[in-house]
Structure 1
Amino acid sequence: MTAADAHPGAAAPADLGALALAEVVACHAFFVDWYAGRLGEAALTDRLTAFSPDFLRIAPDGREVRFADLDGFLSARRAAKPDNFAIRIEDGHTVWQDDRAALVSYVEYQQTGALETRRRSTALFLACPTAPHGVLWRHLQETTIQPNGSAGKTPSAE
């Protein structure tokens, strides 16, 4: 039974997983333009409205970046990448969701010229109708995928 079934005429709750994955793509498109120096300072202020004040990012190396650090963290990286820098998001899917939050997973590919890196990320989003895509980033865990694809795999006994 859906919310619309329980309350005839009521709108079904938003698919928070789909909203979260749309936000992931939009955020990384911002990073490409921001890191290449193609956006003005106001773009960062707008982008930060998609993050919860309680946001925590755990980088692949284990370092933590909190919401209070985001402005400085992203400002320091502005214009740090060449024009051929690109990010693509693949394998995005919803791990879990309810009407207040969604947990999604995706693989982020970063490419600068011939160099490509990959990371598998899991992100928790909170519903927020006033956020740009209807959700706020709350928690992000990133893990580097080694060039041989071994991230998260147990070595074989061979």
Structure 2
Amino acid sequence: MKYQNSGHKAAATQQLNRQLNLLQQDICLPAAVLKQSAVEHNLQWMQRFANSCGVSLAPHGKTSMTPWLFQQQLASGAWGITVATAYQAQVAAQAGAQQIILANQLIGRANMALVAAVVGRGCNIYVCVDSHANASALSAFFAAEKLTLPVLIELGVPGGRCGCRTNQQATEL
């Protein structure tokens, strides 16, 4: 697979028409080295597991933040990619993800604008909400942009950092 330099901070410093050689310092350091056969085995195993369970897979891209890995996960059958931030959603979309789950709440105009730009290019981004205030802010921002944003009600536990704490809170939301 030929890697396309996306301009991401972890990308190699040049357009690639050849294999990279870590020992020849072709790659920005520090760098993780992955064995392709192990990556392919894990991709296939996880997709088979998801398929056997009847679920759609949206691997969490925050851990690797590696666009070529996102592309391989999607090519192996992943439904989408899960990320933590608006910027990461942008990177996932640039890597080809059409379905993106933002595992944190989308807060703040700058983050909403980043997500709106990605949604405007045809991607579906699902965001979590756990309060009327956040749902109202998202509604106002995206309605003004004439965009629809799917939301997921986040469930939490008492004493946890986020999410509706009771069924009643979730139902009211």
Shorter-chain TM-score above 0.5: no
Which of the two has greater helix per residue? 2
After TM superposition, the score normalised by the length of structure 2 is 0.21
> Higher RCO, 1 or 2 (CA under 8 Å, sep at least 6)?
1
The two structures have a TM-score, normalised by structure 1, of 0.22
